[in-house]
């Protein structure tokens, strides 16, 4: 029996189910057809030859379409280390290759794969297309963010009272005990100043007090290639624990010139030029503020000099924000205005571009005042004493009245709420979580509201642990 009925369309594709189960809008086969809700079942559109690519060899290829609407419609072809972009008319478009990505569109390190058709993924979001190679695992550069002194502590005077405040610091070479007997009406400033006087074991050598007029860069060769150096002598054999320098012009962290992990060390003298490196590197980021004083500890527990012998403080290049080495370093502690040098205890000669310079500078060498005592240094600001050393130490703090009158933080704290609002910029502490309270451990870094690197008011912010790698290797990251 012939049955006649109207079919609305055939746009639901092909079905191999029996006729009784198949929708009326499906068919058992469709050849060279294209179903459309608007136009119904139409003839399949043909392919059209638009242009020839300039890819001559055979290789597995990944194809991605960028459709941002007219006229931003492109086809992206990616194969082993190569990328091409064409518009709808087949015109080859220019692809800019970023720093560190490769030497050109046919030598892109990140796109190194023999299976581009399956290994490469791409997605376009607004104006940006992200490209990922699933065969490449992102890695870290190995560089760590330079922080404040490795061995440091905060003594926090929480209440001033008529009692004895005692701070005890112990290192391998001994223990120093500072016991300050406060009067009947003490202030926290009197207590911290008194404790500092008893604890401090540092004598800053004479120094130049005129800051630099600008930051210059050393890019020439010779015995001090890509290094900036400062020659000096000290009059005693007391251990050198730190050096300080001052820059007139800071560099913003967003600037292409900003350097992370500049390398500081002490060198021997070789005919009035830096000779052999004598200490391990200390890594510090470049100052961000004009006139900032940066105090840098000497690695390896400090350096014991020979009196009246020439040495060099040398700074070598750091890296930029994505981990690539700089080839220049700052000459931030010298300038060309005329001026005399101190006549005793400390002799310094500025050196730059393979030549001795004349003029003032701002530079200090810090030595232990008594080598038999622990080599610690102290800074005071209101109710806080900041203690640092080139060697590890243990520290305790007590009073004769109440344990709540004084507190000390070295490496860790129970809660952020217990920390003072004054601390050393860049100081890192481990906040111990509570298992019962379901709180995990984490780290905080102090960020000052004043000059970077200073002991001042500020806030504690979440941060990676000390020494954590923070920078990804650019060549192993998805690109865009």
**Mind listing the pLDDT tens digit of every residue in the chain (480 residues)?**
677 878 778 788 888 888 888 888 888 888 888 888 888 888 888 888 888 887 777 888 899 999 888 888 899 998 888 888 898 888 888 888 877 777 788 888 888 889 988 899 999 998 888 989 998 888 877 766 655 577 899 999 998 988 889 899 888 877 888 888 887 788 888 888 888 888 877 665 544 333 332 333 343 433 445 667 777 777 778 888 888 776 656 777 777 777 778 888 998 888 877 789 999 988 888 777 766 677 788 888 789 999 888 888 888 877 776 677 776 665 444 433 333 333 333 344 444 444 444 444 456 777 877 666 667 788 888 899 998 887 889 999 998 888 889 999 998 888 888 999 999 988 889 988 766 666 788 889 998 887 777 888 999 998 888 777 777 777 777 777
Q: Which of 374, 376, 370, 375 is nearest to 153 (CA)?
A: 376
Enumerate residues 6+ apart whose C-beta is below 8 A from 479: 98, 101, 108, 110, 130, 131
Q: Which residue has the tokens 């049955």?
A: 3
List, in sequence order, every beta strand (DSSP E) within 88-216: 120-125, 128-133, 151-157, 164-171, 174-181, 203-204, 208-209
Question: What are the counts of helices (DSSP H) followed by strands (DSSP E) for the chain?
Answer: 2, 33
Domain extents in the chain: 1-45, 62-133, 151-188+376-463, 203-367
**Quick one: which H or E segment has residue 194?**
helix 188-199
The pLDDT of residue 145: 61
Q: What is the dihedral of CA 399, 404, 405, 410, to 10 degrees?
A: 80
| Residues sharing a CB contact under 8 Å with residue 232, sequence separation 6 or more, in sequence order | 310, 311, 312, 313, 346, 347, 348, 349, 363, 365
Distance CA 62, CA 77 (A): 6
The closest alpha carbon to 181, from 203, 205, 197, 200, belongs to 197
At 246, list the tokens.
């001052």
Q: How far is CA 339 from the centre of its chain?
A: 37
Establish whether the linkage from the previous residue to 71 is cis, with ω within 30° of 0: yes
- Residue pointed to by tokens 């003072």: 420
Rounded to an integer, what distance in angstroms lies between the CA atom of residue 460 and that of residue 409? 14
CA angle 195, 196, 197 (to 5 degrees): 90
C-alpha span between 303 and 446 (Å, rounded):
28
Using only C-alpha atoms, what is the Rg of the chain?
33
262 closest CA partner among 289, 244, 240, 282: 282
Nearest to 467 by CA among 7, 44, 140: 140
**Residue 86 structure tokens:** 């064409």
Residues in the chain: 480
SS3 310: coil
The pLDDT value recorded for residue 343 is: 32
pTM over 0.85: no
Domain spanning 203-367: CATH 1.10.287: no
| 353: helix, strand or coil | coil
Output the pLDDT for position 405. 92
pLDDT at 278: 94
Is 333 within 8 Å of 362 (Cβ atoms)?
yes
């Amino acid at each position: 029996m012939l049955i006649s009925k109207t079919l609305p369309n055939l746009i639901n594709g092909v079905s191999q189910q029996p006729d009784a189960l198949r929708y009326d809008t499906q068919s058992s086969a469709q050849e060279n057809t294209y179903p459309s809700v608007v136009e119904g079942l139409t003839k399949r559109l043909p392919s059209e030859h638009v242009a020839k690519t300039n890819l001559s060899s055979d290789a597995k290829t990944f194809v991605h379409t960028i459709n941002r609407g007219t006229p931003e419609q492109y086809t992206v072809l990616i194969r082993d280390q190569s990328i091409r972009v064409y518009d709808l008319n087949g015109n080859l478009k220019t692809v800019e290759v970023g720093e560190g990505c490769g030497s050109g569109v046919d030598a892109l390190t990140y796109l190194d794969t023999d299976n581009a058709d399956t290994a490469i993924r791409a997605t376009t979001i607004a104006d940006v297309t992200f490209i990922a190679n699933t065969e490449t695992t992102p890695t870290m550069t190995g560089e760590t963010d330079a922080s404040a002194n490795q061995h440091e502590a905060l003594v926090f005077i929480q209440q001033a009272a008529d009692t004895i405040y005692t701070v005890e610091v112990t290192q391998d070479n001994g223990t120093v005990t500072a016991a300050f007997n406060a009067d009947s009406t003490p202030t926290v400033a009197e207590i911290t100043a008194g404790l500092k006087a008893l604890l401090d074991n540092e004598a800053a050598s004479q120094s130049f007090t005129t800051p630099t007029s600008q930051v210059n860069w050393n890019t020439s060769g010779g015995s001090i290639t890509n290094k900036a150096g400062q020659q000096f002598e000290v009059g005693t054999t007391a251990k050198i624990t730190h050096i300080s320098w001052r820059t007139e012009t800071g560099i913003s962290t967003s600037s292409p010139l900003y350097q992370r992990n500049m390398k500081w060390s002490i060198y021997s003298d070789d005919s009035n030029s830096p000779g052999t490196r004598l200490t391990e590197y200390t890594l510090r980021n470049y100052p961000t503020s004009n006139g900032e004083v940066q105090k840098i500890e000497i690695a390896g527990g400090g350096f014991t000099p020979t009196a009246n012998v020439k040495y060099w403080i040398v700074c070598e290049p750091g890296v930029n924000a994505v981990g690539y080495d700089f080839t220049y370093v700052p000459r931030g502690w010298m300038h060309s205005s005329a001026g005399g040098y101190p006549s005793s205890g400390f002799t310094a000669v500025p050196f730059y571009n393979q030549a001795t310079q004349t003029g003032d500078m701002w530079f200090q060498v810090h030595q232990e005042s008594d080598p038999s005592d622990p080599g610690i240094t102290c800074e005071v600001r209101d109710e806080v004493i900041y203690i640092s050393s080139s060697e590890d130490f243990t520290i305790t703090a007590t009073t004769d009245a109440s344990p709540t009158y004084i507190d000390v933080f070295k490496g860790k704290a129970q809660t952020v709420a217990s920390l003072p609002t004054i601390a050393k910029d860049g100081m890192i502490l481990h906040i111990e979580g509570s298992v019962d309270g379901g709180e995990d451990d984490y780290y905080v870094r102090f960020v000052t509201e004043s000059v970077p690197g200073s002991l001042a008011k500020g806030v504690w912010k979440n941060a990676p642990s000390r020494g954590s790698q923070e920078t990804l290797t650019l060549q192993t990251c998805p690109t865009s």
